[in-house]
Structure 1
């Protein structure tokens, strides 16, 4: 039993440099075996998902929701789509104007004062195209026009005006939605580059820091965390991306944030946590990803904003704690964001939370008189000094 306790309470020896790495290449060595796994992460650090959807058979579903499809386009494709809409309508109606003028003979009677023209001053396709552009954009230079001598010309002009108004309305609506989306608001919501695992209130906890750079705060901000990990069931089924919820204080309301200052979000590693039986040594052998999702309402616009980030197993520092980035100056709290990423080494058991609880139970059962005067995480140290009591 003594050897088991000694193994459970070995202290970690974190790297000598406690400062956080600044880039992905710094976080993962070039020869690291899990570097490829990091590059295949489900989400980038900025929150963009890296799961590619392929072999979609029924693509007409995207056309049934054409508004969302257009809004989701990148700006270059967004502008290209509407530019092509304008060009196509100009060319189509210009061709119809030219065809009407050619059939009625207006093309061959230019300058004839006795001729009752349907479309005046259209002597070719180019002039008909200019008439189409002038009509749809309501320029109206006056040299080319549709007269009242033919009903089809009037109907054609009305149809082009309606189509042009529909394109204008759709472009303005899509552009307004696109530029007013709170997607860019997430750029001022920042997450620490690393998670840390250390003791807090005598419990092993996984922690990361989140902050808001703007003075206009998020309303009703909520935070969630998902552990994404592959596993094989007892029946042999392989689940490539199984999602497990990490409790960030849902039952106590601690998952609802008031981001007036950077906050350290804490996940207590208990028997309901996926990290319950994970030690510092086994952590280095695991391959998983933690997706952090922060949602809230933008105070200025009232629209819902979502910011995401991810952490892999190589970005979790065991035996570290975040440095404070707040100070009291001249009667007000000051936040120093240059210290947002800073961590420092603390004494932390390398054992899993399950091993800590088992060892603490043994210590309390065999050595209560001495152990109860010692903080829970270090009770086993007293038991190791008196192995006969175990």
Structure 2
């Protein structure tokens, strides 16, 4: 009985997901809408092996917290080593007329912590220093200085990598909110508009698209997605489109098209997701940038064309009116 109730519940949940217009693989902003669950312990081992990428994927508050803890823990750890070095190894706290002090003005754990901080940050106030007669103290000093340099390099590299991440540049790639279906040069085409808002345009741009369709299993426990290629062109050119101005990409809907058979009546009943990916190289950094978006059938308008937003200014320069980027015009009635 419980098995039947579970099957009915899963079927109801799947049906509700099918009716949910926001159930998509890729959001309009390009985020991947997939949640990983029931990951085994080996996954965290893989994260530790790729620690650098794992650190970069953390949120900002996590990075600041980890960096702060790394410095504080290292100061406390080396401060404890300095204190043990003074108290146990060389017994500097013992009063003796002929005893040579290895570290001056270090007579408590707090002063050892301050000496550790001054050493690792290269502050060096001068009141605390190694006298040079204790080999172990010199070795510990060299080790902490090298550790401090490595930690500073790690934090600096993390900050540079975060500020120069291609994901920040991809946010300047703008996609039209709707995809349009209209006749272009006598062919039925699917149209999308793309623009690069950055002053330094991407080079070696490439556009690719995938059409995803859900294929549910018989027991409603799993969903399989089929993928089909959808080829887009710009005025017949598919090689490295120039995004210096808003560009309209075309996909010819013919017998070889993955979305063949569409018409105005069955468009709203279709169940697929069209994922668009624009990739290119950032000229200033040489890093690869990728921007994504997706279109559902409800976001496709039948019998419309994009309005022109380019004009010539008085000084002879071309001007693009971004307020009209998503504006569309009705075209002739499509058959």
| TM superposition shift of 1:164 | 1.0
Distance 2:129 2:97 in 1: 16
1:60–1:143 Cα change, 3 Å: same
Q: Give the drift of 1:278.
A: 2.5
Q: 2:294 aligns with which of 310, 331, 336?
A: 310
**Match for residue 3 of structure 1?**
none
Deviation digits for residues 103-151 of structure 1 (CA, Å, limit 9, x no counterpart): 1332343xx6643222222222111110100111111112222222322
Q: Does 1:106 align with 2:92?
A: yes
CA distance in 1: counterparts of 2:34 and 2:25, whole angstroms: 6
Q: 1:83, 1:113 → 2: CA distance?
A: 42
Tell me the distance in 1 between the aligned counterparts of 2:174 and 2:136.
Answer: 61
What is the distance in 2 between the residues matched to 1:305 and 1:247? 20
Partner of 2:104: 120
Distance 1:49 1:270 in 2: 30
* Equivalence map 1:39-78=2 (5 Å): 39-57=22-40, 58=42, 59-78=44-63
Contact 1:230–1:238, Cα closer than 8 Å, also in 2: no
The unaligned stretches of length 5 or more in structure 2 are 1-15
Instruction: Map Cα deviations across residues 205-227 of structure 1 (whole Å, 9 max, x no partner).
Output: 11110112233222111111111
Q: Is the 8 A contact 1:34 1:287 kept in 2?
A: no
| CA distance in 2: counterparts of 1:261 and 1:299, whole angstroms | 17
Offset, 1:255: 5.2
- SS of structure 1 residue aligned to 2:232: coil
Q: What whole-Å deviation, never above 9, does each CA across 1:239-260 have from its counterpart, x for those lacking one? A: 532222111139x543531112
Q: Name 1:282's counterpart in structure 2.
A: 266
Answer with 334-343 or 190-199: which moved more.
Answer: 334-343
CA distance in 2, matches of 1:238, 1:275: 24
| Residue 232 of structure 1: how far off its partner (Å) | 5.5
* Shift in alpha-carbon separation, 1:232–1:51, aligned structure 2, 3 A: closer
**Partner residue, 1:268:** 252
CA distance in 2, matches of 1:297, 1:47: 18
3-state secondary structure, aligned to 2:147: helix
What RMSD, in angstroms, separates the aligned Cα atoms of the two structures? Answer: 2.6
Report how many aligned residue pairs link the two structures: 315
Contact kept, 8 Å, 2:279 with 2:291, in 1: the verdict is yes
Q: Conserved in 1, the CA contact under 8 Å of 2:17 and 2:23? A: no
Deviation at 1:300, TM superposition (A): 2.4
**Comparing 280-289 and 155-164, the one that deviates more:** 280-289
The TM-score normalised by the length of structure 2 is: 0.86
Superposition deviation, residue 180 in structure 1: 1.7
Structure with higher RCO (Cα < 8 A, 6+ apart):
1
TM-score (norm 1): 0.74
Matches within 5 A, 1:8-87: 37-57=20-40, 58=42, 59-87=44-72
Structure-2 residue corresponding to 1:242:
226
Deviation at 1:294, TM superposition (A): 0.8
1:41-81 deviation line (CA, Å, top 9, x unaligned)? 21221111111222332111111111222222222222222
Q: Find the counterpart in structure 1 of residue 13 from structure 2.
A: none
**Residue range with higher mean Cα deviation, 76-85 or 326-335:** 326-335
Aligned residue among 309, 322, 325 for 1:337: 322
Structure 1: give runs of 5+ residues left out of the alignment.
1-32, 351-390
Q: Distance in 1 between matches of 2:155 and 2:114?
A: 22
Structure-2 change in CA distance of 1:121 and 1:278 (3 Å):
same
- Deviation of the 1:91 alpha carbon: 0.7
- Give the whole-Å Cα distance in 1 for the aligned partners of 2:195 and 2:331: 23
How far apart, in 1, do the equivalents of 2:198 and 2:164 lie? 17
Instruction: Give the distance between the partners of 2:303 and 2:97, measured in 1 at CA.
Output: 95
Alpha-carbon distance, 1:173 to partner: 1.8
1:180 aligns with 2:173: no
